[in-house]
Amino acid sequence: MLTPELGRVYGQTENGTHLSLSLPYTSLDVAFELFDTASVKARLDVLLWEPINNWSLSEFSLACNFPLTTTSNMSATLCHCLVFVRLTPR
């Protein structure tokens, strides 16, 4: 759950229509999927939740590959994921 405290840790910004987070690939919320000699694949699982009615709106995962030559610098930011979710009332 993205709490206000966790949002501050991950640099959360939003403007009413867009949400931006910056997670290091070493974050505890990141799951590692694949290791090979050239890269590491990391995944973030996302659940969009509407708290007023307790509705699960969508579940999806974001995955990024991190080349091993750049992961030795733990502060490297290598992946930008843009997700567009359109919610349509029933």
21 within 8 A of 30, measured Cβ to Cβ: no
pTM over 0.85: no
Strand-strand pairing, 55-67 and 13-14: unpaired
The whole-number average pLDDT for the span 50-60 is 84
pLDDT top residue among 69 and 13: 13
Q: How far is CA 15 from the centre of its chain?
A: 18
Q: Grade residue 86 by pLDDT with cuts at 50, 70 and 90.
A: low
